[in-house]
DNA sequence: ACATAATATTAGCCAAGGCTAAATTTATTC
DNA sequence: GAATAAATTTAGCCTTGGCTAATATTATGT
């Protein structure tokens, strides 16, 4: 009923600020620009919105920190991001960089309980000895075989299955 | 280099038109409205764009059909949709309806080669006897255990994808 | 065939979230 | 402590893709 709905963009900013603050206590707009690949005016505008939503402490020309609510929301996004990213890496064998990029998009659009399923699955497969450690290797072989016979992507190089661009 | 980039919205319209045409040869704007939960003017506007992109045959007050290019693009979207949907149902145990809703969002944002991974995985797990038929059941149990201890979703169901303002 | 209902279209608005250019503020350097 | 550089903000534009209200067209029922 309350809760105001958080847009994808807002989630991205929260996540970015959280990450930056991990390393330097506070965020400056410039850092956020770099992290999200947007221009400075976009960041200013976003910060005003975040402040208005009660997620950040912000005053013009000042440093940016997360409020408790912002911290909570950010941690939630990060949880989803990391869970999905793990899934992509550990279950599907996607390389780290692309897994993170992909998680970054998935995290906003998939319902939380389904995201938890992804996370559970990832954990399950890793713990489970129902299928040996063979399992993952076999899948990678299976997937690359499929890949070979598929028009799907233009996939530039694709010379060695993993890490294609 | 060419290829013009297809937006999410365009993909949704293509998919909808394709599905409708499966059952009734041609689509009328009204059907598209219903399928996508948008208003008639939105459909008109979209159809003009689709026609301009060369994906549909459309004249005001006329029926809508897909051009060969539109057909190709639509089939591609449908392939991704069904593959992802299968994955969600068969690997993660999500129910059909929500799987379809979720696939509908995932299909636009995940790179094609990664979508193929999802699809491969789904097939692999189903064929593979590396892990018995126990595997899926055990996972469901595992997941519901996890689930119990999670606040996760209010899930409000949002009956049909778009438009929750 | 004509009145009414159903469909489509046009016109124009709105919000989100980018962007550039210009102005302002803060930092740095001699 | 000026002068310049760097960072930030303001102002205003643009595109996408919805929407409503009003208009126009097509279909239907008697």
Q: Looking at residues A27-45, what average pLDDT do you find?
A: 97
Split at pLDDT 50, 70, 90, the class of B164 is very low
* Residue in B116, B131, B142 closest to A152 by CB: B116
* Chain A residue whose CA is closest to B158: A111
CA A64 / C1′ D8 distance in Å: 13
* Chain A residue whose CA is closest to B157: A111
The fold adopted by the segment(s) B8-67 is Arc Repressor Mutant, subunit A (1.10.10)
Does residue B104 carry a pLDDT above 70? yes
Split at pLDDT 50, 70, 90, the class of B130 is low
Q: What proportion of chain B, given as a percentage, has pLDDT over 70?
A: 81
The total of other beta-carbon atoms located within 10 Å of residue A64's CB is: 23
Q: Looking at residues A16-26, what average pLDDT do you find?
A: 95
Name the closest nucleotide to A9, judged by C1' and CA: C17
Residue nearest to nucleotide D8 (CA to C1'): A61
- Does residue B50 contact residue B14 with C-beta atoms inside 8 Å? yes
pLDDT at A132: 67
Q: Looking at residues B141-150, what average pLDDT do you find?
A: 66
* Chain B residue whose CA is closest to A158: B113
Split at pLDDT 50, 70, 90, the class of B37 is very high
Which part of chain B is CATH 1.10.10.10? 8-67
State the CATH architecture for A74-147: Orthogonal Bundle (1.10)
Name the closest nucleotide to B63, judged by C1' and CA: C8
> Residue A15, Cα to own-chain centre: how many angstroms?
8
Q: Cβ of B150 under 8 Å from any chain A Cβ?
A: yes
Split at pLDDT 50, 70, 90, the class of A146 is low
Q: What proportion of chain A, given as a percentage, has pLDDT over 90?
A: 68
pLDDT at A156: 36
pLDDT, tens digit (0-9, with 9 covering 90-100), for A71-98 = 999 999 999 999 999 999 999 999 999 9
Which part of chain B is CATH 1.10.60? 73-145
pLDDT, tens digit (0-9, with 9 covering 90-100), for A44-75 = 999 999 999 999 999 999 999 999 999 999 99
Q: Cβ of B94 under 8 Å from any chain A Cβ?
A: yes
pLDDT at A147: 64
The fold adopted by the segment(s) B73-145 is Diphtheria Toxin Repressor; domain 2 (1.10.60)
Q: Looking at residues B143-155, what average pLDDT do you find?
A: 55
Contacts 24+ apart (CB under 8 A), A125-131: A125/A90, A125/A91, A126/A90, A128/B131, A128/B135, A128/B138, A130/B131, A130/B132, A130/B134, A130/B135, A130/B138, A131/B128, A131/B130, A131/B131, A131/B135
pLDDT at A148: 57
Does residue A158 carry a pLDDT above 60? no
Phi-psi region of B93 (alpha: psi -120 to 50; beta: other; left: phi over 0): left
Name the closest nucleotide to A40, judged by C1' and CA: D8
pLDDT, tens digit (0-9, with 9 covering 90-100), for A101-115 = 999 999 999 999 999
DSSP codes of every residue in chain B: --S----HHHHHHHHHHHHHHHHHSSB-HHHHHHHHT--HHHHHHHHHHHHHTTSEE--TTS-BEE-HHHHHHHHHHHHHHHHHHHIIIIIT---HHHHHHHHHHHHHHS-HHHHHHHHHHHHHHHH--SS-THHHHHHHHHHHHHHHT---------TTSS---
């Amino acid at each position: 009923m309350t809760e105001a709905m958080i847009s994808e963009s807002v989630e991205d900013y929260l996540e970015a600020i959280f990450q930056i603050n991990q390393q330097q206590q506070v965020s400056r707009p410039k850092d956020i620009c770099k992290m999200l690949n947007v221009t400075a005016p976009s960041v200013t505008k976003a910060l005003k919105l975040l402040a208005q939503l009660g997620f950040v402490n912000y005053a013009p020309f000042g440093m940016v920190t997360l409020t408790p609510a912002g911290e909570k929301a950010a941690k939630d996004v990060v949880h989803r991001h990391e869970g999905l990213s793990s899934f992509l890496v550990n279950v599907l064998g996607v390389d780290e960089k692309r897994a993170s990029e992909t998680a970054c998009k998935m995290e906003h659009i998939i319902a939380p309980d389904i995201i938890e399923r992804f996370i559970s699955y990832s954990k399950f497969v890793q713990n489970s000895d129902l299928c040996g450690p063979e399992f993952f290797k076999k899948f990678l072989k299976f997937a690359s075989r499929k890949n070979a016979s598929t028009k799907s992507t233009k996939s530039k190089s694709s010379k060695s299955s993993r890490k294609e661009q």
